[in-house]
Amino acid sequence: MILIGKNINFSQLIGEPNQFFTLFQFFGPIAGFFLGPIYGAATILLALLADLLILGKTFSLINLLRLLPMLFAAYYFGTKNRTVSVIVPLICMTLFMMHPVGREVWFFSLYWLIPVVATLLPKRVPGQVVWRSYGATFTAHAVGGAIWIYTVPMTAAQWISLIPIVAYERFLFGLGIIASYAIFNILLNYIVDKWKIKLPVKALNLDQKFALFRNAKG
């Protein structure tokens, strides 16, 4: 699914005519929940490296750095380590503001407080999946933005023009992550229950709130 989604373009990245956000943005981070933060990120890494090989892209430093945003997003979505979830976007904000152009548009990086706030919210707050989904997509945005400002020449005006575009795109990406999380949980719970699959401990995390067919049968 990663190999397919990675090659279905959604929107073009400003500053790079041959770079696109893809369908992968709508479901990538959920691997961190189902497989755990480490194995989820590792699975995404292997798939993205395979994608580079299939497309014949060079393993340059820039191409490898561009794999990082979704790895951190998957880790964020699946981890219970609040320290890492808070530190990563704050480091990205610092790196962004240290750049000469970033200092001019420092307010752009305020988007990256979203994963910090989502992490620090009490667990009893409703809508945890929603907060985690938007935290994950903005973690990817934070890592990608910090890399982008140092590797792609852009003016302060271009960064400012991105502010409403980011809001629109990340709103949709967050909805996609929420929807894919629900759909995959429903399907996997159904498959495990229907086929009586006995999973090894911690081999696959499932949210039992989405075991809809099992609940329907009582």
Quick one: average pLDDT of 8-23? 75
User: Which of 31-35, 53-57, 105-109, 156-160 is least confident?
Assistant: 53-57
- Which pLDDT score, from 0 to 100, does residue 197 have? 66
Q: How many domains does the chain have?
A: 1
Pick the more confident residue, 130 or 193.
130
Beta strand ranges found along the chain (DSSP E): 9-12, 20-22
Range of the domain at 69: 2-217
Instruction: Identify the CA nearest to 107 among candidates 162, 170, 169, 152.
Output: 162
- Cα–Cα dist 127/131, whole Å: 6
pLDDT in tens, 44-56: 999 999 988 887 7
